[in-house]
Amino acid sequence: MKTVQVQLNDRLASELDALMRAGFFNSEEEAIRFALLKYIQNHEPLLSERFQLEDIAWARKQKRQEQ
């Protein structure tokens, strides 16, 4: 498992504290993992498309080099 350290501005830190006080999360780590997971899920089609376009560009470059 990888450990990362993040710095939050005062507004985000306050929001995080409020979510924990309200019982939505048991820890800051849990809240940040949840936020990252939701971001990835919501942007998965866009991220997938980007990776596919990068693969296509790479394949085209390889083909040009072979010619």
Each domain of the chain, given as residue ranges in start order, spans 10-66
Helix (H), strand (E) counts: the chain = 2, 0
Q: Pick left, alpha or beta for residue 23 (phi over 0 → left; psi -120 to 50 → alpha; otherwise beta).
A: left
At 26 the pLDDT is 96
pLDDT band at residue 10, thresholds of 50, 70 and 90?
A: very high
Instruction: Supply the mean pLDDT for the chain.
Output: 90
What are 37-63's pLDDT values in tens digits? 998 888 887 777 888 888 888 989 888
How far apart CA 1 and CA 8 sit, in angstroms, is 22
